[in-house]
Every structure is written in structure tokens, then in C-alpha cells.
Amino acid sequence: MSALVLALFFLLPSPPQTQRLSPTEIISAVSDYYGRLNSLSADFEQIQKDANRTTRDRGHVYLKKGRKARFDYVTPRAKIDYFNGTTHTRYLPDDQQATSEAMGKSEDERLLIFLILGNRESPWKDEFDRKEIETGSAMVPGNQVVRLIPNNTKNIRDVLVEVDPATRLIHRFGFTRADKTYTEYIFTNIKTAPLDDSLFEFKAPPDVKVFKR
């Protein structure tokens, strides 16, 4: 490399750096962005940890405002969870059976994830008493990680989110329960294309038994 080219290389401006935001700014930006979204889908890895073991599941998730969600688990066992806004149905294809219950009776913590979507009247950011930056724990360079303390810690002690500050998309969502067990979701291939309501409705195939709780 000639001396002239080398000199020009060092004179070139550095690429712009993503501005680091405060925890309040991050969560406000995420709450506003997701509050305006209608639909979202992504591949996910679900990691659950307790004192004795760690389990991992993988699949694809679909989310839509109005408390609609669908979790298609691929490994280690096929299962599909449907949330249509009023009913939660779990379908186990290998067992040829499904169970259904009112969402009001469900204490499924996954509801925490999709309650963000399309929720502009009750902003997600207002659900937390404290917001703290977590340093050195981002999986993706440039992302920021924030630990959140809910207003009510009876069931969930804290929530951890990893956010791309440029896109305001959540790449990781974790929460610690009151019994200290931890569940984390890692999201990849995130898309915000429209989703049809029929995607969240379970239609039992022939010979599949549906049990109501």
C-alpha cells in the first residue's frame, strides 16, 4: 500500500456509532415501537433453567395485537400453542390430542411477550418500577441489555431484554419467576409482515380429541 493511499485511509471518517441510550430511553422506544405494530413473527429458542437442569426448545412464533399468539415448537417435541385472544389451546400432534382453556385462567408467562404488541392505551414501559442497564451481556454486538423490575413482583421478579437500539426490536427476552427459575427467548429472523387472524385459531384435525379445562 502506497504512502498516499495509507494516508487517505486514516483520513477517512469513521463509520457512525449507534448512540447508547439510557435504560428509560430504550424501554420507552421499544414500548412505543411495539405499541404501533400490528403483527410480528420470528424464529425462537426457548431456554428454561432451574436448580437442577436446563432445557432448550426451538420453533417459530407469530404475534398479533389483540392478545393473539402462536408458538410452533419443532424440537425436541412437536407442539403448537394457540392464543386467539380469549382461548389458549395446546395441540400435541404425536398424541392426537389438544387441551383448551380460557386465557383468563392461564398463568402462562409467555403472555408477557405479546402484551407489548399493539398496546398503546396501556404502555408496556409503565409496567416496570425500575430499569437498569446490564453491561457486558449482549449476545449481538451493538445491542443493549436492560434489566426491568416489575411494579408487581409477586410472580415475576425481574425481566431482561436485549434490544437493537437502531431498530428497537427485541432480540432476547428473559424473566425470573418468584421461585428463581429462569426462562429466556432468543429471537432471530424477525419480520413485521401482516398476519391473518385464522393463523391463531385451532381447527382440530380428524380423530384429534380436544379436552377443555
Tell me the whole-structure pTM to 2 decimals. Answer: 0.84
pLDDT digits (tens, 9 = 90+) for 27-44: 999 999 999 999 999 999
How far apart (Å, rounded) are the C-alpha atoms in residues 67 and 5? 58
How far apart (Å, rounded) are the C-alpha atoms in residues 16 and 148? 29
For residues 50 and 115, which has the higher predicted lDDT (pLDDT)?
50
pLDDT digits (tens, 9 = 90+) for 118-131: 777 778 888 888 89
User: Considering only the top CATH level, what class is 20-212?
Assistant: mainly beta
Q: Is the pLDDT of residue 22 over 70?
A: yes
How much is the mean pLDDT over the chain?
86
pLDDT of residue 84: 93
How far apart (Å, rounded) are the C-alpha atoms in residues 177 and 150? 11
Q: Is the pLDDT of residue 3 over 70?
A: no
Confidence band of 12 (pLDDT split at 50, 70, 90)? very low
How far apart (Å, rounded) are the C-alpha atoms in residues 209 and 47? 29
Give the other-Cβ count within 10 Å of 68's Cβ.
22
